[in-house]
Structure 1
Amino acid sequence: MAEKKVISIEDRIPKLKEARKKKTNRRLVFYLSLFFILISIVVYLQSPLSYIQHIVVNGNEYVEEDVIVELSELSNENNLWSVSLSDTVEKIKKHPELKDVQVQRKLPNSIVINVEELEKVAYIKLEDSYMPLLENGEVIDSIEVSKWKGDAPLLIDFAKDTYIQEIAEELQELPTTVSTLISEIYWKPTDANPYKVLLFMDDGYQVESSIRNFAKYLQTYPSIVSQLEEKEGIIRIGEGGAVFDPYKKKDETEEEAENEIEG
Protein backbone atom coordinates (compact mmCIF):
# COMPACT_ATOMS: atom_id res chain seq x y z
CA MET A 1 0.00 0.00 0.00
CA ALA A 2 1.46 3.35 -1.11
CA GLU A 3 2.23 5.82 1.57
CA LYS A 4 0.31 9.13 1.55
CA LYS A 5 2.43 12.23 1.37
CA VAL A 6 1.90 14.29 4.48
CA ILE A 7 2.17 18.08 4.21
CA SER A 8 2.90 19.77 7.44
CA ILE A 9 0.82 22.70 8.65
CA GLU A 10 3.98 24.84 8.60
CA ASP A 11 4.24 24.30 4.84
CA ARG A 12 0.57 25.14 4.21
CA ILE A 13 0.41 28.38 6.23
CA PRO A 14 2.52 30.50 3.83
CA LYS A 15 0.41 29.38 0.88
CA LEU A 16 -2.82 30.11 2.74
CA LYS A 17 -1.50 33.51 3.74
CA GLU A 18 -0.51 34.27 0.14
CA ALA A 19 -3.93 33.20 -1.23
CA ARG A 20 -5.69 35.23 1.46
CA LYS A 21 -3.50 38.25 0.65
CA LYS A 22 -4.27 38.02 -3.11
CA LYS A 23 -7.99 37.75 -2.38
CA THR A 24 -7.82 40.77 -0.09
CA ASN A 25 -5.88 42.76 -2.69
CA ARG A 26 -8.40 41.92 -5.41
CA ARG A 27 -11.24 42.97 -3.14
CA LEU A 28 -9.44 46.22 -2.30
CA VAL A 29 -8.83 46.97 -5.98
CA PHE A 30 -12.51 46.31 -6.74
CA TYR A 31 -13.76 48.63 -3.98
CA LEU A 32 -11.26 51.33 -4.87
CA SER A 33 -12.28 51.12 -8.55
CA LEU A 34 -15.94 51.28 -7.61
CA PHE A 35 -15.26 54.23 -5.33
CA PHE A 36 -13.44 56.17 -8.04
CA ILE A 37 -16.16 55.35 -10.60
CA LEU A 38 -18.82 56.66 -8.26
CA ILE A 39 -16.78 59.79 -7.53
CA SER A 40 -16.28 60.31 -11.28
CA ILE A 41 -20.02 59.98 -11.90
CA VAL A 42 -20.82 62.48 -9.16
CA VAL A 43 -18.22 64.93 -10.49
CA TYR A 44 -19.53 64.46 -14.05
CA LEU A 45 -23.15 65.05 -13.01
CA GLN A 46 -22.19 68.20 -11.14
CA SER A 47 -19.98 69.57 -13.89
CA PRO A 48 -20.92 71.44 -17.11
CA LEU A 49 -19.97 68.29 -19.03
CA SER A 50 -23.30 66.68 -18.08
CA TYR A 51 -25.32 69.55 -19.54
CA ILE A 52 -26.54 69.45 -23.12
CA GLN A 53 -23.98 70.95 -25.46
CA HIS A 54 -25.22 69.64 -28.81
CA ILE A 55 -28.66 68.84 -30.25
CA VAL A 56 -28.47 66.87 -33.49
CA VAL A 57 -31.54 66.53 -35.73
CA ASN A 58 -31.67 63.81 -38.40
CA GLY A 59 -34.25 62.90 -41.05
CA ASN A 60 -35.86 66.31 -41.59
CA GLU A 61 -36.28 67.69 -45.10
CA TYR A 62 -39.13 70.20 -44.88
CA VAL A 63 -39.44 70.88 -41.17
CA GLU A 64 -36.71 73.28 -40.15
CA GLU A 65 -34.19 72.06 -37.59
CA ASP A 66 -34.74 75.18 -35.46
CA VAL A 67 -38.47 74.42 -35.31
CA ILE A 68 -37.84 70.86 -34.08
CA VAL A 69 -35.35 72.04 -31.44
CA GLU A 70 -37.79 74.72 -30.28
CA LEU A 71 -40.56 72.14 -29.93
CA SER A 72 -38.27 69.92 -27.85
CA GLU A 73 -37.82 72.75 -25.32
CA LEU A 74 -34.24 71.59 -24.80
CA SER A 75 -31.24 73.86 -24.34
CA ASN A 76 -27.77 73.94 -22.77
CA GLU A 77 -29.48 74.74 -19.48
CA ASN A 78 -30.79 71.17 -19.27
CA ASN A 79 -28.84 68.40 -17.62
CA LEU A 80 -28.52 65.51 -20.05
CA TRP A 81 -29.78 63.02 -17.49
CA SER A 82 -32.67 65.07 -16.15
CA VAL A 83 -34.35 65.15 -19.55
CA SER A 84 -37.39 62.91 -20.01
CA LEU A 85 -36.96 61.38 -23.46
CA SER A 86 -40.60 60.26 -23.69
CA ASP A 87 -41.89 63.76 -22.82
CA THR A 88 -39.55 65.30 -25.39
CA VAL A 89 -40.86 62.90 -28.06
CA GLU A 90 -44.46 63.89 -27.31
CA LYS A 91 -43.62 67.59 -27.56
CA ILE A 92 -41.96 67.23 -30.96
CA LYS A 93 -44.70 64.95 -32.33
CA LYS A 94 -47.18 67.82 -32.00
CA HIS A 95 -45.84 69.11 -35.31
CA PRO A 96 -48.41 68.14 -37.98
CA GLU A 97 -45.77 67.22 -40.57
CA LEU A 98 -44.00 64.60 -38.48
CA LYS A 99 -44.98 60.93 -38.52
CA ASP A 100 -42.48 59.53 -36.02
CA VAL A 101 -39.93 60.91 -33.55
CA GLN A 102 -37.16 59.23 -31.58
CA VAL A 103 -34.93 60.95 -29.02
CA GLN A 104 -31.79 59.50 -27.46
CA ARG A 105 -28.82 60.57 -25.37
CA LYS A 106 -25.31 60.42 -26.76
CA LEU A 107 -22.37 60.68 -24.40
CA PRO A 108 -20.87 62.82 -23.20
CA ASN A 109 -23.35 65.68 -23.70
CA SER A 110 -25.48 65.38 -26.84
CA ILE A 111 -29.13 64.77 -27.64
CA VAL A 112 -29.95 63.12 -30.97
CA ILE A 113 -33.43 63.66 -32.44
CA ASN A 114 -34.42 61.34 -35.31
CA VAL A 115 -37.59 62.31 -37.13
CA GLU A 116 -39.64 60.77 -39.92
CA GLU A 117 -41.69 63.23 -41.89
CA LEU A 118 -45.01 62.45 -43.51
CA GLU A 119 -44.39 61.36 -47.08
CA LYS A 120 -44.71 63.96 -49.82
CA VAL A 121 -47.06 62.56 -52.46
CA ALA A 122 -47.37 65.56 -54.80
CA TYR A 123 -46.90 69.27 -55.33
CA ILE A 124 -49.72 71.75 -55.91
CA LYS A 125 -48.89 74.44 -58.43
CA LEU A 126 -49.88 77.90 -57.26
CA GLU A 127 -48.81 80.68 -59.63
CA ASP A 128 -44.99 80.72 -59.39
CA SER A 129 -44.63 78.42 -56.41
CA TYR A 130 -45.13 74.75 -55.60
CA MET A 131 -46.80 73.62 -52.38
CA PRO A 132 -45.85 70.12 -51.19
CA LEU A 133 -48.84 67.87 -50.44
CA LEU A 134 -48.34 65.30 -47.68
CA GLU A 135 -49.82 61.82 -47.44
CA ASN A 136 -52.42 62.98 -44.89
CA GLY A 137 -53.70 65.69 -47.23
CA GLU A 138 -51.86 68.48 -45.41
CA VAL A 139 -50.52 71.23 -47.67
CA ILE A 140 -47.32 72.79 -46.34
CA ASP A 141 -45.69 76.12 -47.07
CA SER A 142 -44.75 76.69 -50.68
CA ILE A 143 -41.21 76.27 -51.93
CA GLU A 144 -39.42 78.20 -54.62
CA VAL A 145 -39.63 76.79 -58.14
CA SER A 146 -35.84 76.51 -58.19
CA LYS A 147 -36.04 74.06 -55.26
CA TRP A 148 -38.59 71.79 -56.90
CA LYS A 149 -36.95 68.40 -57.41
CA GLY A 150 -39.64 66.87 -59.62
CA ASP A 151 -39.72 63.92 -57.22
CA ALA A 152 -43.53 63.79 -57.05
CA PRO A 153 -46.44 64.52 -59.43
CA LEU A 154 -47.50 68.12 -59.96
CA LEU A 155 -51.20 68.84 -59.31
CA ILE A 156 -52.67 71.55 -61.52
CA ASP A 157 -56.07 73.29 -61.37
CA PHE A 158 -57.12 71.53 -58.16
CA ALA A 159 -59.41 74.12 -56.61
CA LYS A 160 -61.22 72.24 -53.83
CA ASP A 161 -59.74 70.83 -50.65
CA THR A 162 -62.00 67.76 -50.79
CA TYR A 163 -60.48 66.56 -54.05
CA ILE A 164 -56.96 67.42 -52.89
CA GLN A 165 -57.49 65.29 -49.78
CA GLU A 166 -58.79 62.37 -51.84
CA ILE A 167 -56.02 62.46 -54.43
CA ALA A 168 -53.44 62.57 -51.62
CA GLU A 169 -54.87 59.41 -50.08
CA GLU A 170 -54.96 57.67 -53.46
CA LEU A 171 -51.38 58.65 -54.34
CA GLN A 172 -50.23 57.31 -50.99
CA GLU A 173 -51.67 53.89 -51.87
CA LEU A 174 -50.20 53.91 -55.38
CA PRO A 175 -46.99 51.85 -55.83
CA THR A 176 -43.86 53.97 -56.19
CA THR A 177 -43.08 52.26 -59.50
CA VAL A 178 -46.21 53.90 -60.94
CA SER A 179 -46.28 57.23 -59.11
CA THR A 180 -42.76 58.04 -60.29
CA LEU A 181 -44.01 57.82 -63.88
CA ILE A 182 -46.60 60.57 -63.34
CA SER A 183 -45.41 64.04 -64.29
CA GLU A 184 -48.59 66.16 -63.99
CA ILE A 185 -52.18 65.60 -62.88
CA TYR A 186 -54.86 68.03 -64.10
CA TRP A 187 -58.25 68.20 -62.46
CA LYS A 188 -60.78 68.20 -65.33
CA PRO A 189 -64.24 68.02 -63.70
CA THR A 190 -67.38 67.66 -65.82
CA ASP A 191 -71.05 67.71 -64.90
CA ALA A 192 -71.14 63.95 -65.29
CA ASN A 193 -67.88 63.29 -63.45
CA PRO A 194 -66.48 65.92 -61.04
CA TYR A 195 -63.65 63.48 -60.20
CA LYS A 196 -62.18 63.35 -63.71
CA VAL A 197 -58.41 63.84 -64.01
CA LEU A 198 -55.94 63.96 -66.88
CA LEU A 199 -52.41 62.66 -66.32
CA PHE A 200 -49.26 63.35 -68.30
CA MET A 201 -46.82 60.46 -67.98
CA ASP A 202 -43.05 60.59 -68.33
CA ASP A 203 -43.13 57.88 -71.01
CA GLY A 204 -45.20 60.04 -73.39
CA TYR A 205 -48.72 58.76 -72.73
CA GLN A 206 -51.69 60.65 -71.35
CA VAL A 207 -54.14 58.98 -69.00
CA GLU A 208 -57.77 59.85 -68.35
CA SER A 209 -59.10 58.51 -65.09
CA SER A 210 -60.93 59.38 -61.88
CA ILE A 211 -59.79 60.48 -58.44
CA ARG A 212 -62.07 57.83 -56.97
CA ASN A 213 -60.34 54.43 -57.13
CA PHE A 214 -57.34 56.23 -58.65
CA ALA A 215 -54.80 53.90 -57.04
CA LYS A 216 -56.76 50.81 -58.10
CA TYR A 217 -57.04 51.98 -61.72
CA LEU A 218 -53.45 53.20 -62.10
CA GLN A 219 -51.95 49.98 -60.72
CA THR A 220 -52.78 48.42 -64.06
CA TYR A 221 -50.89 51.10 -66.02
CA PRO A 222 -47.56 49.23 -66.50
CA SER A 223 -49.40 46.14 -67.72
CA ILE A 224 -51.49 48.20 -70.17
CA VAL A 225 -48.48 50.04 -71.59
CA SER A 226 -46.51 46.82 -72.07
CA GLN A 227 -49.20 45.63 -74.51
CA LEU A 228 -49.27 48.78 -76.64
CA GLU A 229 -47.43 49.05 -79.93
CA GLU A 230 -48.02 52.76 -80.32
CA LYS A 231 -45.74 54.85 -78.13
CA GLU A 232 -48.00 57.90 -77.76
CA GLY A 233 -51.69 58.31 -77.10
CA ILE A 234 -54.44 58.63 -74.50
CA ILE A 235 -55.25 55.74 -72.19
CA ARG A 236 -58.69 55.93 -70.60
CA ILE A 237 -58.80 53.83 -67.43
CA GLY A 238 -62.00 53.41 -65.45
CA GLU A 239 -64.47 50.99 -63.96
CA GLY A 240 -65.09 49.34 -67.33
CA GLY A 241 -61.41 48.68 -68.04
CA ALA A 242 -58.97 50.52 -70.29
CA VAL A 243 -59.24 51.99 -73.80
CA PHE A 244 -56.31 53.35 -75.81
CA ASP A 245 -56.59 56.07 -78.46
CA PRO A 246 -53.29 56.66 -80.31
CA TYR A 247 -52.46 60.21 -81.35
CA LYS A 248 -51.96 59.03 -84.96
CA LYS A 249 -55.57 57.97 -85.22
CA LYS A 250 -56.66 61.41 -84.11
CA ASP A 251 -54.29 63.13 -86.55
CA GLU A 252 -55.48 60.98 -89.47
CA THR A 253 -59.14 61.74 -88.68
CA GLU A 254 -58.43 65.46 -88.61
CA GLU A 255 -56.50 65.20 -91.91
CA GLU A 256 -59.39 63.33 -93.57
CA ALA A 257 -61.83 65.96 -92.38
CA GLU A 258 -59.64 68.74 -93.79
CA ASN A 259 -59.41 66.90 -97.16
CA GLU A 260 -63.18 66.54 -97.29
CA ILE A 261 -63.60 70.27 -96.69
CA GLU A 262 -61.05 71.10 -99.39
CA GLY A 263 -62.77 68.68 -101.78
Structure 2
Amino acid sequence: MRSDNRTEKTIKKKRRRKKHYLLRFIIFLLICVGLYFISHIDYFTVDGIAVAGNEEVSDQEVLELSELRTGMNIFDVHPWFVERRIKKNLYIEDVDVDRKLPNEIVIHVTERSGKAQFKMGKKFVITDNDGMVLEISKEERQVTLVDNIQVNGAELEKTIEVEESDAYEKTMAMIKAMENNDLYFKRINIDGNDVQAYVYDTLICKGKYDNVMSSIESDALRTVIYNLYQSSIESGVINISSNNYCSFTP
Protein backbone atom coordinates (compact mmCIF):
# COMPACT_ATOMS: atom_id res chain seq x y z
CA MET A 1 0.00 0.00 0.00
CA ARG A 2 2.83 2.39 0.92
CA SER A 3 4.57 1.48 -2.28
CA ASP A 4 1.51 2.49 -4.29
CA ASN A 5 1.34 5.84 -2.46
CA ARG A 6 4.99 6.54 -3.18
CA THR A 7 4.53 5.68 -6.86
CA GLU A 8 1.52 7.98 -7.09
CA LYS A 9 3.41 10.84 -5.41
CA THR A 10 6.35 10.35 -7.78
CA ILE A 11 4.06 10.49 -10.80
CA LYS A 12 2.42 13.69 -9.51
CA LYS A 13 5.85 15.31 -8.94
CA LYS A 14 6.91 14.45 -12.49
CA ARG A 15 3.69 15.94 -13.85
CA ARG A 16 4.22 19.15 -11.86
CA ARG A 17 7.82 19.39 -13.15
CA LYS A 18 6.62 18.98 -16.71
CA LYS A 19 4.07 21.76 -16.19
CA HIS A 20 6.76 24.01 -14.73
CA TYR A 21 9.11 23.31 -17.65
CA LEU A 22 6.32 23.94 -20.16
CA LEU A 23 5.35 27.20 -18.42
CA ARG A 24 8.97 28.37 -18.39
CA PHE A 25 9.35 27.51 -22.05
CA ILE A 26 6.16 29.41 -22.94
CA ILE A 27 7.35 32.46 -20.95
CA PHE A 28 10.76 32.29 -22.62
CA LEU A 29 9.10 32.02 -26.04
CA LEU A 30 6.86 35.00 -25.31
CA ILE A 31 9.88 37.06 -24.20
CA CYS A 32 11.75 36.19 -27.42
CA VAL A 33 8.76 37.06 -29.58
CA GLY A 34 8.31 40.31 -27.67
CA LEU A 35 11.96 41.26 -28.05
CA TYR A 36 11.83 40.46 -31.77
CA PHE A 37 8.84 42.72 -32.37
CA ILE A 38 10.26 45.49 -30.17
CA SER A 39 13.61 45.36 -32.02
CA HIS A 40 11.85 45.59 -35.39
CA ILE A 41 9.87 48.74 -34.78
CA ASP A 42 10.67 51.83 -36.88
CA TYR A 43 12.80 53.21 -34.05
CA PHE A 44 15.58 50.77 -35.07
CA THR A 45 15.37 51.38 -38.83
CA VAL A 46 18.77 52.42 -40.22
CA ASP A 47 18.69 55.97 -41.56
CA GLY A 48 22.42 56.71 -41.72
CA ILE A 49 25.53 54.78 -42.86
CA ALA A 50 28.94 56.46 -42.62
CA VAL A 51 32.36 55.33 -43.90
CA ALA A 52 35.52 56.46 -42.07
CA GLY A 53 39.27 56.02 -42.62
CA ASN A 54 39.19 55.49 -46.39
CA GLU A 55 41.25 57.40 -48.94
CA GLU A 56 42.08 54.94 -51.72
CA VAL A 57 38.62 53.36 -51.86
CA SER A 58 35.54 55.55 -52.31
CA ASP A 59 32.60 55.63 -49.89
CA GLN A 60 30.35 54.35 -52.65
CA GLU A 61 32.53 51.29 -53.31
CA VAL A 62 32.67 50.43 -49.60
CA LEU A 63 28.87 50.75 -49.33
CA GLU A 64 28.32 48.62 -52.43
CA LEU A 65 30.57 45.88 -51.04
CA SER A 66 28.86 46.05 -47.64
CA GLU A 67 25.40 45.47 -49.16
CA LEU A 68 24.01 47.71 -46.41
CA ARG A 69 21.23 50.17 -47.10
CA THR A 70 19.08 52.63 -45.24
CA GLY A 71 15.64 51.31 -44.34
CA MET A 72 16.89 47.95 -43.04
CA ASN A 73 16.64 47.02 -39.37
CA ILE A 74 19.84 47.61 -37.41
CA PHE A 75 19.56 44.20 -35.71
CA ASP A 76 19.54 42.51 -39.11
CA VAL A 77 23.07 43.84 -39.69
CA HIS A 78 25.68 41.18 -38.85
CA PRO A 79 29.10 42.92 -38.63
CA TRP A 80 31.21 39.81 -39.27
CA PHE A 81 29.52 39.09 -42.61
CA VAL A 82 29.65 42.76 -43.64
CA GLU A 83 33.37 42.94 -42.82
CA ARG A 84 34.11 39.84 -44.91
CA ARG A 85 32.27 41.28 -47.91
CA ILE A 86 34.14 44.59 -47.74
CA LYS A 87 37.52 42.87 -47.46
CA LYS A 88 37.04 41.46 -50.95
CA ASN A 89 38.64 44.72 -52.07
CA LEU A 90 42.37 44.10 -51.58
CA TYR A 91 43.05 47.77 -50.91
CA ILE A 92 41.17 47.25 -47.64
CA GLU A 93 43.24 45.60 -44.93
CA ASP A 94 40.83 45.73 -41.99
CA VAL A 95 37.20 46.69 -41.32
CA ASP A 96 35.21 47.36 -38.17
CA VAL A 97 31.42 47.72 -38.46
CA ASP A 98 29.96 49.62 -35.52
CA ARG A 99 26.20 49.58 -34.93
CA LYS A 100 25.23 52.77 -33.12
CA LEU A 101 21.80 52.30 -31.61
CA PRO A 102 19.16 53.08 -32.44
CA ASN A 103 19.61 53.69 -36.18
CA GLU A 104 23.17 54.43 -37.36
CA ILE A 105 26.04 52.34 -38.72
CA VAL A 106 29.68 53.42 -39.02
CA ILE A 107 32.12 51.43 -41.15
CA HIS A 108 35.73 52.02 -40.04
CA VAL A 109 38.23 51.10 -42.77
CA THR A 110 42.00 50.52 -42.61
CA GLU A 111 43.50 50.54 -46.09
CA ARG A 112 46.50 49.12 -47.86
CA SER A 113 48.09 51.56 -50.29
CA GLY A 114 49.41 50.86 -53.74
CA LYS A 115 53.12 51.70 -53.57
CA ALA A 116 54.56 50.38 -56.83
CA GLN A 117 53.36 49.45 -60.30
CA PHE A 118 55.03 47.23 -62.86
CA LYS A 119 54.28 46.84 -66.56
CA MET A 120 53.10 43.41 -67.65
CA GLY A 121 52.42 43.54 -71.36
CA LYS A 122 49.76 46.23 -71.83
CA LYS A 123 48.65 46.02 -68.20
CA PHE A 124 49.89 47.51 -64.93
CA VAL A 125 50.42 45.39 -61.82
CA ILE A 126 49.94 47.42 -58.63
CA THR A 127 51.49 46.13 -55.40
CA ASP A 128 51.88 47.23 -51.80
CA ASN A 129 55.38 47.85 -50.40
CA ASP A 130 55.78 44.13 -49.66
CA GLY A 131 55.13 43.25 -53.30
CA MET A 132 51.65 41.78 -52.77
CA VAL A 133 49.49 42.29 -55.86
CA LEU A 134 46.49 44.51 -55.11
CA GLU A 135 45.28 45.11 -58.64
CA ILE A 136 45.95 44.30 -62.28
CA SER A 137 44.79 47.29 -64.28
CA LYS A 138 44.54 48.37 -67.89
CA GLU A 139 45.28 51.92 -66.78
CA GLU A 140 48.33 53.42 -65.07
CA ARG A 141 47.76 54.41 -61.44
CA GLN A 142 49.25 57.33 -59.52
CA VAL A 143 51.90 55.25 -57.77
CA THR A 144 55.60 54.81 -58.49
CA LEU A 145 56.20 53.17 -61.86
CA VAL A 146 59.09 50.67 -61.83
CA ASP A 147 61.09 50.43 -65.07
CA ASN A 148 63.56 47.79 -66.20
CA ILE A 149 61.88 44.83 -64.45
CA GLN A 150 60.13 42.15 -66.48
CA VAL A 151 57.07 40.64 -64.82
CA ASN A 152 56.63 36.96 -65.67
CA GLY A 153 53.44 36.43 -63.70
CA ALA A 154 51.06 38.19 -61.34
CA GLU A 155 48.15 36.95 -59.26
CA LEU A 156 46.01 38.87 -56.79
CA GLU A 157 47.09 38.54 -53.12
CA LYS A 158 50.43 37.01 -54.14
CA THR A 159 53.85 38.49 -54.87
CA ILE A 160 54.77 39.07 -58.49
CA GLU A 161 57.12 36.78 -60.43
CA VAL A 162 60.01 38.74 -61.92
CA GLU A 163 63.01 38.12 -64.14
CA GLU A 164 65.45 40.52 -62.42
CA SER A 165 65.30 39.46 -58.76
CA ASP A 166 68.21 41.64 -57.59
CA ALA A 167 66.80 44.80 -59.15
CA TYR A 168 63.36 43.91 -57.78
CA GLU A 169 64.65 43.51 -54.20
CA LYS A 170 66.55 46.79 -54.41
CA THR A 171 63.47 48.55 -55.79
CA MET A 172 61.16 47.28 -53.05
CA ALA A 173 63.70 48.30 -50.39
CA MET A 174 63.77 51.80 -51.92
CA ILE A 175 59.94 51.90 -52.01
CA LYS A 176 59.87 51.17 -48.27
CA ALA A 177 62.56 53.76 -47.57
CA MET A 178 60.56 56.34 -49.55
CA GLU A 179 57.46 55.66 -47.46
CA ASN A 180 59.37 55.81 -44.17
CA ASN A 181 60.93 59.15 -45.11
CA ASP A 182 57.92 60.83 -46.73
CA LEU A 183 59.41 60.86 -50.22
CA TYR A 184 57.77 60.07 -53.54
CA PHE A 185 59.24 59.25 -56.95
CA LYS A 186 57.10 59.17 -60.04
CA ARG A 187 59.34 56.56 -61.63
CA ILE A 188 62.32 54.40 -60.65
CA ASN A 189 64.85 52.64 -62.86
CA ILE A 190 67.54 50.46 -61.27
CA ASP A 191 70.11 48.98 -63.64
CA GLY A 192 72.72 47.00 -61.75
CA ASN A 193 74.01 49.48 -59.20
CA ASP A 194 72.87 52.61 -61.05
CA VAL A 195 69.67 54.37 -60.01
CA GLN A 196 67.54 56.91 -61.80
CA ALA A 197 64.61 58.20 -59.76
CA TYR A 198 62.20 60.69 -61.30
CA VAL A 199 60.67 63.35 -59.06
CA TYR A 200 59.03 64.81 -62.18
CA ASP A 201 59.41 63.79 -65.80
CA THR A 202 62.26 66.31 -66.13
CA LEU A 203 63.67 66.33 -62.58
CA ILE A 204 65.83 63.26 -62.07
CA CYS A 205 67.92 61.92 -59.18
CA LYS A 206 70.97 59.90 -60.22
CA GLY A 207 73.52 57.92 -58.23
CA LYS A 208 74.75 54.55 -57.03
CA TYR A 209 72.20 52.49 -55.18
CA ASP A 210 73.87 52.63 -51.74
CA ASN A 211 74.39 56.38 -52.01
CA VAL A 212 70.79 57.02 -53.05
CA MET A 213 69.45 54.84 -50.22
CA SER A 214 71.67 56.63 -47.70
CA SER A 215 70.51 60.06 -48.91
CA ILE A 216 66.88 58.98 -48.59
CA GLU A 217 67.28 57.56 -45.09
CA SER A 218 69.25 60.58 -43.85
CA ASP A 219 66.66 63.01 -45.23
CA ALA A 220 69.37 64.77 -47.26
CA LEU A 221 67.64 64.09 -50.58
CA ARG A 222 64.22 65.17 -49.32
CA THR A 223 65.73 68.48 -48.15
CA VAL A 224 67.20 69.14 -51.61
CA ILE A 225 63.94 68.26 -53.37
CA TYR A 226 61.97 70.47 -50.99
CA ASN A 227 64.28 73.42 -51.61
CA LEU A 228 63.89 72.97 -55.38
CA TYR A 229 60.12 72.79 -54.97
CA GLN A 230 60.14 76.02 -52.95
CA SER A 231 62.02 77.63 -55.83
CA SER A 232 59.52 76.20 -58.38
CA ILE A 233 62.29 74.22 -60.09
CA GLU A 234 60.94 71.13 -61.84
CA SER A 235 63.72 70.34 -64.28
CA GLY A 236 67.33 69.24 -63.92
CA VAL A 237 69.48 66.50 -62.39
CA ILE A 238 70.26 65.84 -58.72
CA ASN A 239 73.53 63.92 -58.59
CA ILE A 240 73.97 61.86 -55.43
CA SER A 241 77.39 60.77 -54.27
CA SER A 242 78.87 59.41 -51.04
CA ASN A 243 78.43 61.00 -47.61
CA ASN A 244 74.90 62.14 -48.59
CA TYR A 245 76.31 64.81 -50.88
CA CYS A 246 73.77 66.03 -53.44
CA SER A 247 74.56 68.45 -56.24
CA PHE A 248 72.04 69.97 -58.63
CA THR A 249 72.57 70.63 -62.33
CA PRO A 250 69.85 72.65 -64.13
Q: Aligning the two structures, in what range does the TM-score lie when normalised by the shorter sequence?
A: 0.5 to 0.7
Determine helix, strand or coil for the equivalent of 2:149. Answer: coil
Using the TM superposition, give the Cα deviation of residue 75 of structure 1 relative to its aligned residue in structure 2, in angstroms: 9.4
Does residue 220 (structure 1) correspond to residue 220 (structure 2)? The answer is: yes
TM-score norm. by structure 2 comes to: 0.53
Matches for 1:234-245 after TM superposition, within 5 Å: 234-242=237-245, 244=247
Once residues 184 and 53 of structure 1 are traced to their aligned partners in structure 2, the CA distance between those partners, rounded to angstroms, is 45
Once residues 213 and 68 of structure 1 are traced to their aligned partners in structure 2, the CA distance between those partners, rounded to angstroms, is 45
Determine helix, strand or coil for the equivalent of 1:172. Answer: helix
Matches for 1:1-263 after TM superposition, within 5 Å: 43-47=37-41, 50=44, 57-58=51-52, 59=54, 61-62=56-57, 65=62, 68-69=65-66, 80-81=74-75, 85=79, 97-109=91-103, 111-145=105-139, 148=141, 150=142, 152-159=143-150, 160=165, 161-175=168-182, 178-179=183-184, 182-189=185-192, 193=193, 196-202=194-200, 204-209=202-207, 216-218=214-216, 219-224=219-224, 226=227, 233-242=236-245, 244=247, 246=249
The one-letter code sitting in structure 2 at the alignment partner of 1:172 is: E
Conserved in 1, the CA contact under 8 Å of 2:207 and 2:239? yes
Once residues 224 and 177 of structure 2 are traced to their aligned partners in structure 1, the CA distance between those partners, rounded to angstroms, is 20
Conserved in 2, the CA contact under 8 Å of 1:123 and 1:132? yes
Query: What's the RMSD between the two structures over aligned residues?
Result: 4.6
Determine helix, strand or coil for the equivalent of 1:135. Answer: coil
Q: Percent identity?
A: 19
Conserved in 2, the CA contact under 8 Å of 1:133 and 1:168? no
Once residues 101 and 210 of structure 1 are traced to their aligned partners in structure 2, the CA distance between those partners, rounded to angstroms, is 41
Task: Name stretches of at least 5 consecutive residues in structure 1 with no aligned partner.
Answer: 1-39, 248-263
Once residues 85 and 207 of structure 2 are traced to their aligned partners in structure 1, the CA distance between those partners, rounded to angstroms, is 42
TM-score norm. by structure 1 comes to: 0.51
- Structure with bigger gyration radius: 1
Using the TM superposition, give the Cα deviation of residue 186 of structure 1 relative to its aligned residue in structure 2, in angstroms: 1.1
Using the TM superposition, give the Cα deviation of residue 138 of structure 1 relative to its aligned residue in structure 2, in angstroms: 2.0
Once residues 108 and 245 of structure 1 are traced to their aligned partners in structure 2, the CA distance between those partners, rounded to angstroms, is 61
Determine helix, strand or coil for the equivalent of 2:173. Answer: helix
Task: Name stretches of at least 5 consecutive residues in structure 2 with no aligned partner.
Answer: 1-33, 151-164
Once residues 142 and 210 of structure 1 are traced to their aligned partners in structure 2, the CA distance between those partners, rounded to angstroms, is 31
Once residues 105 and 99 of structure 1 are traced to their aligned partners in structure 2, the CA distance between those partners, rounded to angstroms, is 20
